[in-house]
Amino acid sequence: MMNAVARRTRDALSDPFHDEASDAVHFHDLHPARADMRAEVLAGLASPQKRIAPKFFYDAAGSRLFDAICTLPEYYPTRTEIAILREFGAEMAQRLGRDALLVELGSGSSLKIRVLLEALRPAVYMPVDISRDHLLDSARALASTFPELQVHAVCADYSVPFVLPVELHDHPRAAFFPGSSVGNFEPADAERFLRRVGEMIGRGGRLLIGVDLVKDHSVLNAAYNDAAGTTAAFNLNLLQRINRELDGNFDLDAFRHEAFFNDELSRIEMHLISTRDQQVRVSGESFDFREGESIHTECSYKYRIEGFHALARRAGFEPEQVWTDADELFSVQCLVNRG
């Protein structure tokens, strides 16, 4: 029997929406339905430790706020990773090889791939992102700077299994997963996810992945508690999105942003803390909050290089090369799928 993912994939294949604004952009919508978001959010709010998955941050406003986070003075990951890509892009391209079908998971504004494109020269660039309009705008912008490049944009939730909508068997495959978004997964889920990426790129396929590193706690804490309050706005936007899309009545003034490094679990945790006892309604269901009770909205795991290598090996990959900045704040790693 064909599952929902396969069915959506087949539809996208037979009827890919050809982008009128740009000849070079093909758009494949495997769209994560609103019903899925409702069910997930309601289940998360009903659990003893209330939780909402970080993928729901990225509506249009959330994607814009995330781009703003990336330029904050305290948020070192983006500029550090871009500096690493600039410095070592030629070596990375040599590892990945030319004429690949290059899949980027969580492509956002597609800014990082721009640094690599000249050296990488993929045959096809396939950005995958959950934020549909943001994905389309970014894909069009990229296609207009690189008119030779074939772009197949895929709107999908990469945290659940999906099938690439175009096969393109004659190209070697590679994957790009920057930003340390792998840190959003629990380590066991990261392992399962990497295994799926391995299946997607095949035996011998290479994955170029950004991995944030354990460091001084004050640096970590500052990166998620910026002085301008942008991370707080990003976190709180989740409640506004639920109000709008899931008929919620969260009072945004009655929750505050909290983020801290949990040393024992080696992760940043982000929470939204209720500032009073209150009841909130979402999609016709009620949820009680005590003063100080939290909704856990994100984990951002920080790794040591050896620890991440062990995880990659458990997922069937062999680490080939690691590039870091001089201060070892961040790493970009090339992994090959042993299949």
Write the binding mask 75 to 104 for ligand AVJ: x where contact by CB under 6 A, - elsewhere. Answer: --x---------------------------
Tell me how far apart the alpha carbons of residues 166 and 164 are, in angstroms, rounded to a whole number: 6
Tell me how far apart the alpha carbons of residues 110 and 239 are, in angstroms, rounded to a whole number: 26
Q: Residue 331 interacts with ligand AVJ (CB under 6 A)?
A: no
Nearest distance, CB of residue 8 and ligand AVJ, angstroms: 25
Nearest distance, CB of residue 284 and ligand AVJ, angstroms: 30
Instruction: Give residue 25's Cα distance to chain centre.
Output: 21
Nearest distance, CB of residue 123 and ligand AVJ, angstroms: 28
Question: Which residues in the 10-69 window bind ligand AVJ by CB under 6 A?
Answer: 69
Residue 233 has φ and ψ, to the nearest 5°, of -65, -40
3-state class (DSSP) for residue 140: helix
**Which residue in the block uniquely carries the two structure tokens 């919620």?**
248
Non-local CB neighbours of 204 within 8 Å, separated by 6+ positions = 172, 336, 337, 339
Q: For the chain, where are the alpha helices, taking DSSP H only?
A: 4-14, 34-46, 60-69, 76-96, 112-120, 132-145, 187-201, 217-223, 230-245, 305-314
Write the binding mask 205 to 244 for ligand AVJ: x where contact by CB under 6 A, - elsewhere. Answer: -------------------x------x-------------
Exposed / middle / buried, residue 274 (Cβ in 10 Å: 0-12, 13-18, 19+): buried
Nearest distance, CB of residue 300 and ligand AVJ, angstroms: 3
Write the binding mask 249 to 278 for ligand AVJ: x where contact by CB under 6 A, - elsewhere. Answer: ------------------------------
Write the binding mask 109 to 138 for ligand AVJ: x where contact by CB under 6 A, - elsewhere. Answer: ------------------------------
Q: In this complex, which beta carbon is closest to ligand AVJ, that of residue 167 or of residue 328?
A: 328
Write the binding mask 157 to 196 for ligand AVJ: x where contact by CB under 6 A, - elsewhere. Answer: ----------------------xxx-xx------------
Instruction: Point out the residue whose Cβ comes nearest to ligand AVJ.
Output: 300
3-state class (DSSP) for residue 11: helix
Q: Which residues bind ligand AVJ (CB under 6 A)?
A: 69, 77, 179-181, 183-184, 224, 231, 298, 300
